[in-house]
């Protein structure tokens, strides 16, 4: 339902005119400008934009905030990965002797790798569980910032959890890989 009033009944300094066209918008814009020039009123066309341009202008600020948030999220993920890498390097360094003993008694590299990664992923899983529990609690305050997503969207929680576990595993992999190059005789000879 559309209600239209004559412009004389509701005068304004600026009026917007929306035109739907099947042709080239530039050709229609020049035709509209000619028609406006021929009107008896002094009407100036200040700007003409297509629907796509109007949509882009209307969504520019939310898009910028989304990109800024994504940049901070990537920075936080990289800092987290750096911290996980440092922690796993320290844990592997502390257990060098134990790893050397396991290798000396015949543990395969795959077994050593699964031992190190298994222990580390248990810690990552505990941290992830605490983080998800905190997120479930805090989601009610964040609902105003979520757009087009349910506040308790299971796919979002699962995706973030999987991404964090993958990032943790990749961060811990290099120290675990270095542990595989440990020479049992060298480690056992150190006191």
The domain spans of the chain are 1-58, 60-189
143-151 average pLDDT score: 66
pLDDT of residue 46: 76
Could you give the count of Cα atoms lying within 13 Å of 45 in the half-sphere of its Cβ?
16
40-54 average pLDDT score: 77
Measured from the Cβ of residue 40, the count of other Cβ atoms closer than 10 Å reads 5
Lowest mean pLDDT among 66-75, 93-102, 149-158, 170-179: 149-158
39-56 average pLDDT score: 78
Measured from the Cβ of residue 88, the count of other Cβ atoms closer than 10 Å reads 25
pLDDT of residue 16: 75
Residue 1 pLDDT greater than 70, yes or no: no
Q: List, as one string, the DSSP characters of 23-72.
A: S-HHHHHHHHHHHHHTSSS---------HHHHHHHHTHHHHHHHHHHHHH
The Cα–Cα gap between 32 and 85 comes to 63
Residue 58 pLDDT greater than 70, yes or no: yes
156-160 average pLDDT score: 87
């Amino acid at each position: 339902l559309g209600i239209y009033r004559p412009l004389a009944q509701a005068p304004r300094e600026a009026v917007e005119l929306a035109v739907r066209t099947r042709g080239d918008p530039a050709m229609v814009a020049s035709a509209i400008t000619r028609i406006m020039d021929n009107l008896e009123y002094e009407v100036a066309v200040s700007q003409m934009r297509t629907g796509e341009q109007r949509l882009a202008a209307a969504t520019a600020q939310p898009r910028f905030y989304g990109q800024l948030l994504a940049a901070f999220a990537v920075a936080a993920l990289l800092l987290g990965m750096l911290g996980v890498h440092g922690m796993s390097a320290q844990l592997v360094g502390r257990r060098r002797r134990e790893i050397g003993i396991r290798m000396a008694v015949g543990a395969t590299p795959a077994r050593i790798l699964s031992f190190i990664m298994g222990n580390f992923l248990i810690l990552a899983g505990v941290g992830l569980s605490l983080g998800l529990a905190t997120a479930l609690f805090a989601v009610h305050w964040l609902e105003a910032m979520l757009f087009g997503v349910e506040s308790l969207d299971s796919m979002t929680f699962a995706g973030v959890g999987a991404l964090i576990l993958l990032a943790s595993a990749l961060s811990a992999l290099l120290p675990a890989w270095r542990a595989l190059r440990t020479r049992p005789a060298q480690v056992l000879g150190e006191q």
